[in-house]
Structure formats: C-alpha cells, structure tokens
A and B are shown apart, each in its own frame.
Chain A
C-alpha cells in the first residue's frame, strides 16, 4: 500500500522550475527521509503533498485524496510541521496545545505528550521563550495531537543540538502507530540513514529512492554516497583562502582571549566564568546544546553585548574599552541571515566593502575579486531574498571576508545548508586558518566539530570541557564526536 503517489508532477515559480516531471511512491507505515541540496525542491514537494501549493502539471494522491480538491478531508488525516514549527510564540505551551487540539477537534488530553516531550514543567512558559530544542518538541507534540495517519516534517532539526535531535527521533518512533507514514525532510544524513527509505532530490527530480542501508552501511559512507549522487564533491584548492592575506601581523601570542566572561540577567547566568585563549591560525569551536550560552558569548566577544563582568581581547585590544578598534579586526557572520534582502548580491557586497572603508578604485577591484572568488557572477544582479539558503550563507561569508580580517567569528555558518555546500565551507575555513586566520566557530554538526583544532563544550552557561576533539573523545571513551558530546553533557548533569 502506498500512502503517497506522485506522478509526472511539475511546479514552476515564475520561470523557475522547482519540481520537474517528478514521480514517486511512498509506502504506508514507513519513515521516509527527504534529502537534497538547497533549492532542490524539498519544501516545494512537501507543500504540494500537503496541498499548500497547487501543481502546474501532474497528479498527486495522498491517502487516496486529492490534496487540492479534498484539502479539508486531508487535513483531518495529516499532521504537518512547517519549517518554522508554526507555533504561536506569544502563547504559552499549554495554550498552543489547547488551540491546536480545538482546531483539530481532539480532546484536551496532553499528559502523555507532555511527559514524552519533558515539557510538563514548562506548560506555563511562552513558546517564544523556549530553547530551539524544546520548541521543536512542542511543534511535534502539536502535530501528533490528532494521531495523524501521515506525519510530514519539514526540516524539524535545523539549528538543533545533537541531544535534542536524538530525543526528537525517539519521540517520533515511540508516539506513532505502526500504520503511520512519516515524511521527514532533513539536512542531517545520519538521521536519514536511520530511516526505512530515503529519497534524494536534485533540481526537482528524484535521483535516488531506496533503503539507505543498501546504499551504504555506515552513515559516514552514506553521506559520501549521497554526495556522489548529487554530482560529487571534489576538494579543490580554496580560492577564498588563496586570495586571502592575513592583514595584521601584529605580534600577539593569543589573537583572541576571553577572560572570565560573564553575562547575568537578574539571578540567571547566561554565561559564567568563560575563559579561553586562541592562537593565531587556530580553529576554535564552541559546541553545546541550544540555550547553553554560545551565542551570548559570541555577542560579548564582538562587542554587541556588554559583559556583566570580565572582558575579551581581540588582537590584544580590549573589546569593552575600545570596541571599534577591536571590531576592525573581525569578520563576523551572524547566526541569522543579516544582509539586506531587498537589494542585489553585488549591492550587498558593495555596501559592506564601503562600510569597511574601501572606496573608488580599491572598492571596485575588491568587488570584482570577491565576485570571482565566490563564483557570484551569475547571481550578482539577483535580489538577495530570492537566493537559496546555501547561497545566502556564502554571501554572508563573502561580506565577512571582504576586508581581509585576521580573525573570523562564524556563528552556525552551516545551519540549514546542504552537505556539499557544508564541505565547501569547511574547505574554505580550514584553508583560511592555514594562511593565518584565527577562527571562532559554533556548529550543531558534530562531524564538523572534528575540523576544529580545539573545542570548548558549553553547557548551562559554563564551559564543561576544553580540548582537542581527540582529547574530548578519549576522556569519555567515545568513538565519535556526537557520542562524546552526549556523554560529556550527561556526565556534567550528574
């Protein structure tokens, strides 16, 4: 039995083909993973399946219903969690549950769900005040309320830490009945590897459908195979690094220093006693669950938030005393996309170049250089808002590098980016470090953590472990970083 049958489906956005003559069948009672590069058409396919978009050509049958004409009937049988979770952030956890229970016409019986999601203690808290991991659990609880026959999850684990991801996976497996079909789009290939079926999309077409374990035994191999399917990734010499000159050769022993950084909100310590010393050319990773204080530390390090006590030094300059001077050494890439969406790629680059003090011929020269290095030629006149996430992140990185800063701060640079683009990114980052750039980076991808020279594991506002990836793994006898992460967090919980 098939839960979803799609045949010769085509969907266009103005002149862009998003779904290209796509056909597939999804088996009932199975968990199916949907994988693909940014802009491959995952979200569009999902929206077509749940009837949020109307197709141009082709047929879709979902649970034997037409998602456009029989939308109301379909709604009673599916649970759909969109990318932003669809929660009312200004309502409490309980109010969200009550609202969606009424809208789905099911009784207010939340005990089991609240217990499973460990949200019992937070019933009265505003959904907006929850950490990313908890929001995601609440989002899932909301769609599971009506015990749907088909569960559709659009990238539920973007920007979520490994522990929360594990919990989520467990929740889904425990709470659904054997007859429930799950369609789960994800950027994490280890997740996809554990599903019954995997579908790989590329440019609006299915390029693979089958058992993940048949493609590869381990999730690492699976990742490589998927990359091959998507056209392969050849490690090239990083053009970005080749054109990079570490502009400041100031002789300081440690280019980035945090000294007892602390941020307190009332009685609550968002960050407590955070100290580290980073050498020139080092890649220093900040890892930790959502809400551990990584972003707060980041903001204090680059002078966007004032520390309650302690300070940070960039190239020996105190960030509290002389923030402008210290910041001039920094290239900063924020967690949320923070470029101007309504202007073109080139205009963004031009703006950031001029903010960093480049003018006239120098600016023009550097602009062409950057456009060439990052391969922006084809998209230089495109509006930034139209770009897929991977390109936006690339543009953010280009803007951060435009003035050749000796130090790079990257806050979740690869969040929501597909696996090929992630590899490209890390090729740039490691190559830049080799040329003398100091890099401070956060990530939720544990395989990426392996690229770091040293890691500080953050939990509840404090660094619970600092060391090289190997040191951390040895300390808890873990075979990979993900296991090390989970074990170290559990250890500090005791």
Chain B
C-alpha cells in the first residue's frame, strides 16, 4: 500500500507540474464545447437561397414573400438564372427554388404542381435542411392560400420527441464529454508509460520493490481520478452554463462514465506499454482511440448510414455505447436497458484490456 501510495503521489506531482495534462483535462473540453456550440452548427441557420419566380400571379408573390419573412432561411430573388447559378458556384447561395410559370394555373385546376428545388450536394447537411424547410414553407403557404382545398396535399404533423427545439447542441454537447474523456483516457495515458521508458526512469523503478500490479495501478488510479474530475467539470459546463436539459440520474451518469473511463484507460495504457516511444504512442493512440471515438461512434455520423462492415466494427468501440447512453441519459432520462447493456459491455472490454495491459507490461528490457 505504501508503495502504491508513493507511486500515485508521484504521478500527481507530475500531472500538476506538467501543464499539458491539465490542458487536456480541463482546457481542451472547454475549447471543444465552444467549438461545438458556435463553430459547428449542424442546424445551418441563415443559409441563403435564390428564388426565380416565373409565375406572376399575386398568390405566388405571397409564397415568395413568406420565404423572405422566414427566420430560418434567407432568400434572394432574381430573374437571371445564369446569375443565380453563378452564385451557387461561388457558394454565395446554398440552394435555388424555381417556381414554373404554370404553377398557379395547375393549382387552380386542382392538379398537382411542381416546385423545382436545387441544392448544393457538396454540403449534405445544408442541402437536406434547405429541402425540408422549402417544402415546409411551401406547404404552410398552401394551407393558408386559396388553393388549400386541393386534395393532393397532405400536411404531415411533425413533433420531435426528447429535443423539441431540435437543438443540435443538446446532443452534441453531452457527446463531447465522451470525446474529451477519450482524450484523457487514451491520448494522455498513452504518453505516460512511454515517457518513463524514454527518460530512463522505468529502469530505476523496476529495480525497486515495485510489483507489476502496483506499477499498473499506480498509473490507472491517478488518471482515473483526473478523468472523473474532468467529467464533473464538463457536466458543470454543459448543465450549469449552457443549460442543457438533464433528465437522467447523476449517480447513474457518473457510474457509467467511470466504467467508460476504465475502458478508455485500458486502450491508452495498452498502446503505451507496447510502444516505448512517446511520439509513436501518441500517433497510434489518436489513430486507434481518438478518431474512431469521433467518427465511428455515431456522434457525428449516424451509424446506420455507415457501410455494413463499419457498422459491425463500431460494436467493438466503447465510445459508441457510451455516446448512446449519455445522449439518452440527457435527453430521455435513465433508460435501464441501455444502462445495463452499456455497463456490461464496458466492464467486459475494460477488464479484457486491463489483463492485456498487465500481460504486456514488461518488467525488464525487451529482448531486441
């Protein structure tokens, strides 16, 4: 116990003195959150589209008008199609709405009439957004216009559960907790064992009374504590400062977060006990730990839209389970089946990794 305490104490002295771990644990999440809040906007508010109206009837003028009065979309009217196309090319406009000259006539005759919507497919999110809003605005106009009797129009009643305001950052922010925890669990810890080998301190440590278990716990425990402090710090920011609604249970949240951290630490320590150079360890850690957490966990890209192989692959990634859990915990409240499934998976993978770390931690110099 005395030895373990000494090792943990030492690790904390190093953490405190080395500002980079403090930066990763507390400053980086803050930066991430700010970027998610203000930088990445998945809701594409204030995109501008062009409108070319070939139908001169006063009813249609109202339709055009309702676009310009929308608070979700900006619009520019023009009759010069070349000019509009040009603006799309230069990304001044993200989409184009063309109203054909027989639009009102067809409606008047009770036929279905076409609106032509062009979107910029290079930005898929914005394109979907424009498409949806344009249809919504057009439908709204239709239901208030004199053509509302037209039987072909079905107005869907749409209600979004859990996140009524459809605020992207309501789920992005909790998800970012997972990302920053992966940073601490994998990136930071990948460096610390490699660092001991590189600086030659490992050779000294291994000639004291330290046992292998003490050596490993002496690394796990301090970074576990640092990680949990960072989780709490993240929660305070998300809930206290950005007013993200939290419908779950704090104890459940912390419990599952602790399990997730346990699994992440395992990946980080496994990388660094196999690779004895800090540079290599950090590169590999980003490759196997951080990027999958960001890209393959379902946080940014929906898992259902990935190729089949990757869909199966994501089942091995701790962040995938954790992100599902934390999003539901925030938005929907505690769902016990999710909590149970996530916990079982994280305990299993965390334990496997712990054993692997134990087996791979050399107690002497390698043989080549």
A86 touching B201, Cβ below 8 Å: yes
* A103 lies within 8 A of B199 (CB): no
Cβ of A39 within 8 Å of any chain B Cβ, yes or no, is: no
Complex Cα gap A90–B18 (Å): 8
Q: How large is the interface on B (under 10, 10 to 19, 20 to 34, 35 or more residues)?
A: 20 to 34
Q: Which of A71-101 contact B (CB under 8 A)?
A: 71-72, 75-76, 78, 80-91, 95, 98-100
A186 to B236 CA separation, bound complex (whole angstroms): 57
Known: A84-B200, A89-B199, A99-B6. A52 touches B14 (CB 8 A): no
Interface residues in B1-38 by Cβ distance below 8 A to A read 2-3, 5-7, 9-10, 13-14, 17-18
CB-CB under 8 A from A95, the residues of chain B are 10, 13
Asked if A47 CB lies within 8 Å of chain B CBs, one says yes
> B201 and A102: CB pair below 8 A?
no
Distance between Cα atoms of A54 and B2 in the complex (Å): 29
Q: Which of A82, A85, A103 lies at the interface centre, i.e. has the most chain B CB atoms within 10 A of its CB?
A: A103
Contact A84:B2 (CB < 8 A) given known A75-B208, A95-B10, A104-B208 = no
State in angstroms the CA–CA spacing of A52 and B13 once bound together.
Answer: 27
Q: Restricting to A102-116, which residues have a CB under 8 Å from any CB of B?
A: 102-105
CA distance A312 to B366 in the complex (A): 48
Q: Is A406 an interface residue when CB atoms closer than 8 A count as contact? A: no
Q: Are A82 and B368 in contact (CB under 8 A)?
A: no
B6 → A minimal CB distance (Å): 3
B363 to chain A: which residues have CB within 8 Å? 71
B208 CB to nearest chain A CB (Å): 4
Q: With the chains together, A13 CA to B203 CA distance in Å?
A: 19
Cβ-based interface call for A14 (8 A)? yes
Known: A80-B204, A98-B6. A103 touches B210 (CB 8 A): yes
| Assembled-state Cα–Cα distance A244/B120 (Å) | 67
Which of A13, A84, A103 lies in contact with B205, CB distance below 8 A?
A103
Whether the Cβ atoms of A88 and B203 lie closer than 8 Å is no
Which of A86, A91, A102, A126 interacts with B3 by CB under 8 Å?
A102
**Which of chain A's residues have a CB closer than 8 A to the CB of B7?**
99, 103
CB <8 Å contact, B367 and A88? no
Which residue of A is nearest B4, CB measured? A102
A53 at interface by CB-CB < 8 Å: yes
- Does chain B have a CB within 8 A of A51? yes
Assuming A13-B368, A85-B200, A86-B201, is B6 touching A103 (CB within 8 A)?
Answer: yes
Q: How far is the CA of A76 from the CA of B207 in the complex (A)?
A: 8
Give CA–CA (A46, B208) in the complex, Å: 16
The residue of chain A having its C-beta at the shortest distance from the C-beta of B10 within the complex is: A99
Provide the residues of chain B in CB contact with A14, threshold 8 Å.
Answer: 368
When distances are taken between beta carbons in the complex, the residues of chain B under 8 Å from A103 are: 3, 6-7, 205, 208-210
Closest to A103 in B: B208
| CB nearest to A87 among chain B residues | B201
**Given A86-B204, A99-B10, A103-B208; A51-B199 close (CB under 8 Å):** no
Q: Once the chains are docked, how many angstroms separate the CA of A86 from the CA of B203?
A: 7
- A50 an interface residue at 8 Å Cβ cutoff? yes
Give the chain B neighbours of A100 by CB distance below 8 A. 204, 208
Q: Does B332 contact A (CB under 8 A)?
A: no
**Do B208 and A91 touch across chains, with their CB atoms under 8 A apart?**
no
Flag if A91 contacts B2 (CB, 8 Å): no
Contact A80 to B365, CB < 8 A, known contacts A102-B2, A102-B5: no
Give the distance in Å from the alpha carbon of A234 to the alpha carbon of B209 in the complex. 49
> Which chain B residue lies CB-closest to A16?
B368
Minimum CB–CB distance for B57 against chain A, Å: 74
A90 touches B13 (CB 8 A): yes
Q: Are B204 and A82 in contact (CB under 8 A)?
A: yes
CA distance A68 to B208 in the complex (A): 14
Q: Which residues of B contact A102 (CB under 8 A)?
A: 2-3, 5-6
Mark interface residues in B357-368 (1 if CB within 8 Å of A CB, else 0): 000000111011
Q: Which residues of B contact A89 (CB under 8 A)?
A: 199
CB < 8 Å neighbour of A47 from B17, B18, B365:
B365
* Max count, chain A CB within 10 A of own CB: residue among B2, B5, B17: B17
- Taking CB atoms, residues of chain B closer than 8 Å to A104 are 208-209
Report the minimal beta-carbon distance from A218 to chain B, rounded to whole angstroms.
35
- Residues in B with CB closer than 8 Å to A78 are 207
In contact, B3 and A50 (Cβ under 8 angstroms): no
Question: Is the Cβ of B6 less than 8 Å from the Cβ of A80?
Answer: no
Is residue B206 within 8 Å, beta carbon to beta carbon, of the partner chain? yes
- For B16, the closest partner residue in chain A by CB is A90
The residue of chain A having its C-beta at the shortest distance from the C-beta of B201 within the complex is: A86
A14–B210 CA distance with the chains assembled, in angstroms: 30
Within 24-55 of A, Cβ neighbours of B (below 8 Å) are at 47, 50-54
Tell me whether B211 is interfacial, beta carbon within 8 Å: yes
B209 touches A75 (CB 8 A): yes
Asked whether, in the complex, the Cβ of B203 is within 8 Å of the Cβ of A82, the reply is: yes
| Contact flag A80-B10 (CB < 8 Å), given A53-B365, A71-B363, A105-B2 | no
Q: Complex Cα distance A105/B208, Å?
A: 9
Q: Give the residue of A54, A76, A83, A142 whose beta carbon is less than 8 angstroms from that of B209.
A: A76
Minimum distance in angstroms from A167 CB to a CB of chain B: 21
B207 close to A80 (CB less than 8 A): yes
Residues B182-223 near A (CB distance < 8 A): 199-201, 203-211
CA A72 to CA B14, docked complex, whole Å:
26
A72: B residues at CB distance < 8 A? 209, 211
Q: Are A75 and B207 in contact (CB under 8 A)?
A: yes
Q: What are some 27 contacts across the A-B interface (CB < 8 A)?
A: A13-B368, A52-B364, A52-B365, A53-B364, A53-B365, A53-B367, A54-B367, A71-B363, A71-B364, A72-B211, A75-B207, A75-B208, A80-B204, A80-B207, A83-B200, A85-B204, A88-B10, A88-B199, A91-B10, A91-B14, A99-B7, A99-B9, A100-B208, A104-B208, A104-B209, A105-B209, A126-B17
Residues on A lying within 8 angstroms of B by beta carbon are 13-14, 47, 50-54, 68, 71-72, 75-76, 78, 80-91, 95, 98-100, 102-105, 126, 142
3 closest residue pairs by CB, A with B: A86-B204, A84-B200, A102-B6
Given A87-B201, A90-B18, 11 other A-B residues pairs in contact with their CB atoms under 8 A = A52-B365, A54-B364, A82-B203, A87-B204, A88-B199, A88-B201, A90-B17, A91-B14, A99-B6, A103-B210, A142-B204
Which residues from chain B sit less than 8 Å from chain A, CB to CB? Answer: 2-3, 5-7, 9-10, 13-14, 17-18, 199-201, 203-211, 363-365, 367-368
